[in-house]
Chain A
Amino acid sequence: MFKARLKGDVLKEMIKVVSTLVDEVKLNITGEGITLKAVDPAHVAMVDLSLNKEAFEELEATDCELGVDIDKIKEVLSLAKAGDILDIDHDEEHNKLVVHIENITRHMSLVDTMGMSDPKMPQLNLPANIKLAAAELNQGIKASESISNHIALVANADGFELSSQGDTDSVSLKLRKDLLLHLECSEPVRSLFSLDYFANMIRSVPSSGVVTLAIGQDYPAMMTFEIAEGNGSVTYLLAPRIENE
């Protein structure tokens, strides 16, 4: 059983996070909230998201799994105005998700969850931890986009840097320790990432949000941030690109 009432904006944030990686997702629903884990088809990135009970206006559910098509949810959300509240429930008899916004009711077929696995979050040992405003990261991404398809994340005890090297030009955004909300770095590290993936992930952080980045040397990066005004959390994992010797 699943019956929920929530703000359209909360669902929008959640869908933005997931849609950067996958088209379909399995929601694990309990009376305490919703969680999901998904890996993109290329196995390059992973998302682990949870939305607590407090993120909902109302939530009534027994444990269940629902497979949803992200594009369909987006279609419904495009009908919602700022501040609209959505009512969602699971029509078990017809196995449809029923969404009400104002006077609109959408019956949505579900995706078969057979074969949709629950990926395990790998254990990572990441020596650098950086906490900063998403706006700073977006600035660095913007600077890199005209230069290269890659972006390097570099950290040492003194600061954090985003840099890109193109064929002829290069660019970097340097943030000294005092400009960061937090920096902890036991050894100097550098990892290179696909700018495309990285940019999409950072763009799904709610505006005025804060991101905690954990990075290592030629190692996956972990990005953690809050959604739903602190009542939900997201962890992204992104595999690096390794430079050939």
Chain B
Amino acid sequence: MKYLTLAETYRDLQATSKRLEMRDILVDLFRGTEPRLMGRVVYLTQGTLGPDWEGLQLGLGEKLVSRAIALTAGISDDDLEALVHREGDLGLATEAAFASKGPKQVQLFQESLTVDRVFESLTQVARVEGSGSTEKRIRLLQQLLMDADPLSARYIVRTVVGKLRLGIADMTILEALEKAFLWAEDEERVMGSDKVVEAIYNVHPDMGAIALAVANEGAEGLAGFGIEVGVPVRSMLAERLGSTPEILEKMGGRCAFEYKYDGMRIQAHVGPGGVHLFSRRMETITSQFPDVVQAMESAFAGHEAIMEFEAVVHNPETGELLPFQEVSHRRGRVHGLAESVEDYPLVLFAFDLLYLDGEELLLQEFQLRREALESLLGKAGEGPIRPSTLRWVEDPEGGDDFFLEAISAGCEGIIAKAVGEGSHYRAGARGWQWIKYKRDYQAGMTDTVDLVVVGTYAGAGKRTGFYGALLMASVNQEEGTLESVCKLGTGFKDEELAALHERLSPTVLKEAPGNLRSGLQPDFHVQPELVLEVLGAEVTLSPVHRCAYGHLRPQTGLAIRFPRMVRLRDDKGPEEATTSSEIEDMYRRQLKRAD
């Protein structure tokens, strides 16, 4: 299979913003792919070379990649830079350089550019390490690009710099796999997906492995997948509400309240192969937490288990819990890890147990999982690994008392968890079985939301050279779109202004991304990748913003009034930002309260 087939498909995918069209383009691609290549095709389509936790990362520096492009295209670095400026991104600039007029140099030994060759070369590029690695990478890329036509070069370059960004939601790929390999060809599906592939993906989120299996064996291929120690399970997520009575009503009068720690969520896998730690984005973070690994090895020796924890930094002198930012000192750190382990000792609060010694607990009710968790942890109340603080709640007073206790213990609030029937662990899903209630929710809408930066406005006066404001968007998961919801211009500290400028200016786009919905035109559009936590005064109807557009009133969206930046959320990707339907819910609750 030629890589050009993929490149042409990517071009077609980017020409549409309709989810079903995207799905059907993928279905055609998958049906036309040799089954043995399906894994590679799917990884490449996601812009990766394997599942996230295997850590084989591309995302090479643009400078290095530019060198390889300039050498291959036979143009100067300056000419390439001018092309990047003109075309808007390195991929398009490469395409233009490769397609430029004038005679094209051919080679004595032309090799054809197959999917296998691209995948294997990129894997080599990602694996290169040690001295001279920059040179080796440039040479490997040059050899690959030499055989590339302009369109293939565009997408190879974007893949290499880690910016393929086809705007396809994982769910769209899963549904395409289902349609391509599990639905009978003549079957008219009016109802759409029955989510069988998604169910497997939620507990075994290796899209390439699943694709390979269904392409080769159809439905039978899915039977081989299940929960597995060493493969992260997609996290269950919580909805949000603003008061105890609302929560109890949703939960049928009875539920568990648990401290909502202001820490970092970690999924730990313990087994004969050692301890593996995964972030909520399913990246392997084992090496950043040697102390956690050690504590787990001794606490769970002889067991095989998958558990979820909130890692919180505490002050060993006072026992006081410190805010989230303190944990993030540890993230991505290579140097000085030993010091930071000492300076920021962690307590791990276990809150769920998904698998224990050969038994999948995922489908058990919450109480049973909790009992199993407590008996596994024993009475380790003072050690670094403790069960989360939890109380069974049946009336609003009991709930409010517990909420206040949580706040005074340094937590953000509580998470309510459903009990009884239907309270199993819903991997990868956000539902009303878990509801978070944070202290910010109490007064009006002083609620924080996590929004994606999609555009920038130039600053003036004191802010000359920085940004005056940012255009922020929420995520519409059903449509796969980003919907603008406010212009954010306050709450920045000076150093944050500079940091934002440094982060965002290299990601400026030539035109608005196809999946952005907004009635406003910022000075510059940027790659939608940075998430900021934003506090607003209330949610209002808006003629210019497109959040939940038309849901409440025709040609009207929702906006957040008086938005103020709280902090950067580097731990969250745009797909984890607050959704438009969450904001719509906030608006409706606000209305109810006003009544």
Contact = CB atoms under 8 A, between A and B. Distances in A.
B346 interface: no
Interface stretch (A65-73, A136-144, A207-215, A235-243): A235-243
A45 B105 contact: no
Contacts of B107: 42-44, 239
Interface in B109-152: 109, 139, 142, 146
A46 B142 CA distance: 18
Nearest to A194: B105
Given A41-B139, A42-B146, A43-B146, A241 B104 contact: yes
Nearest to A219: B106
A44 B108 contact: yes
Contacts of B139: 41
A46 B102 CA distance: 23
B142 A41 contact: yes
Interface in A205-245: 220, 237, 239-244
Contact of B108 (A41, A220, A241, A244): A220
A21 to B, nearest CB: 11
A122 B109 CA distance: 9
Interface in A127-173: 150
A142 to B, nearest CB: 21
Interface residues of A, number: 20
Contacts of B109: 39, 43, 119, 122
A183 interface: no
Contacts of B102: 244
Categorize the interface residue count of chain B: 10 to 19
A192 interface: yes
A239 B103 contact: no
B108 A43 contact: yes
A41 B72 CA distance: 10
B101 interface: yes
A111 to B, nearest CB: 14
Contact of B103 (A41, A43, A45, A192): A192
Given A42-B146, A43-B146, A242 B108 contact: no
Interface string B42-58: 00000000000000000
Contacts of A43: 107-109, 146
A108 B457 CA distance: 61
A106 B292 CA distance: 57
Contacts of B103: 150, 192, 241-244
Contacts of A119: 109
Contacts of B146: 42-43
Nearest to A45: B108
Contacts of B101: 244
Contacts of B108: 39, 43-46, 122, 220, 237, 239
Nearest to A237: B108
Contacts of B104: 241-242, 244
A239 B142 contact: no
B142 A44 contact: no
A46 B107 CA distance: 10
Interface in B76-113: 101-109
Contacts of A192: 103
Nearest to B101: A244
A242 B146 CA distance: 15
Interface in A1-51: 39, 41-46
A145 B101 CA distance: 20
B141 to A, nearest CB: 12
Interface string B493-504: 000000000000
B191 to A, nearest CB: 50
A241 B107 CA distance: 9
Contacts of A239: 105-108
Contacts of A46: 108
Contacts of A150: 103
Nearest to B72: A42
Contacts of B142: 41-42
Q: Which 5 A-B pairs have the closest CB atoms?
A: A241-B103, A43-B107, A243-B103, A239-B108, A239-B106
Interface of B: 71-72, 101-109, 139, 142, 146
11 contacts: A39-B108, A43-B108, A43-B109, A43-B146, A45-B108, A46-B108, A122-B109, A239-B108, A241-B105, A242-B104, A244-B102
